[in-house]
Amino acid sequence: MNLEHLISLINDPYNDMNNFNLGYEYETLGQTATALSYYLRCAEYTEDDNLSYECMLRMSKCLSKQGHRDLKELTCLEHAISIKSNRPEAYHIMSLYHSFRENWLKSYMYACIGLQYVDNKSRLIKDMGYQGYQLLFQKAYSGYNKGKIRESKKIYYELLENNHISTDYKNMIMRNVSIRDSHSTPIENTSEVTNYNI
C-alpha cells in the first residue's frame, strides 16, 4: 500500500481526492468493503460531478466483486447515471449487468442509450477497461438474443472492420457469427473479457 495516500488522508480527511486515492489503493488490494467506504466519502465531499460519477462506478465494481449484492450494485450504477447521464461508461456496465442476467431487452436498451454518448471523450481518473466499441458489441450481443438477428450480424461485421477492437473481441465476434450461421443459439458472453469484473 502507498502510505503517502494514508498520510494525506490523515492530514486532510475531507479532501475528495485523498479519499478517492485511498479507496483505489484498497480496491487494488482486494479490500472492497474498505474501498467502498472511501469512495462513498469522496462522492459525498466532492463538488466535481465527474469524480462523484467515477466513485459510483467504482462502488458498483466493488459490490460486484463481493457478490450477492446485485441491487446495491444496480443502485450505484443508477446513481452514476443520475449524476452524469451524458457519459457512456455507466450505460456499458448496465448493459453488461443485464446481459449477464439474460435481461436482453434492458441490456439492449442501455447499450442503445450509451451509444448516444459514445463520442464523450471525458476520461476517468482510473481506467475501468471501457472502449467505445464495447457498447456496439453489447447492442449486437443483446440484440441477437432478443431477436434482432440481421441488425446484430451487420454490427458484428462492422466491428470486424474496425482496426481498434481487441483481439479478444474479434475472436468472440468470429465465434458468434459462425455459431449464428450454423443456427445454434447460445452465443458468447463478454463477461470473461471485460475489465469490469477483473
Residue 52 buriedness (CB in 10 A; 0-12 / 13-18 / 19+): buried
Q: What is the pTM of this model?
A: 0.88
Do 118 and 184 belong to one domain?
yes
Of 26, 55, 84, which one is at a domain's C-terminal end? 84
CATH code of the domain containing 46: 1.25.40.10
Statement to judge: residues 68 and 146 lie in one domain:
no
- What would the pLDDT profile of 90-144 be if each residue is shown by its tens digit? 999 999 999 999 999 999 999 999 999 999 989 999 999 999 899 999 999 999 9
Q: Using one digit for the tens of pLDDT, what is the confidence trace for 108-123?
A: 999 999 999 999 989 9
For residue range 2-37, what is the model confidence (pLDDT) as tens digits? 888 888 888 899 999 999 999 999 999 999 999 999
Residues 72, 161, single domain; the answer is no
Instruction: Look up residue 120 and give its DSSP letter.
Output: -
90: in domain: no
Q: Do residues 112 and 34 share a domain? A: no
* Residue 125 lies in domain: 103-198
d(CA 25, CA 3): 10
Helices (H), 70-198: 70-83, 89-100, 104-115, 133-145, 149-160, 167-181
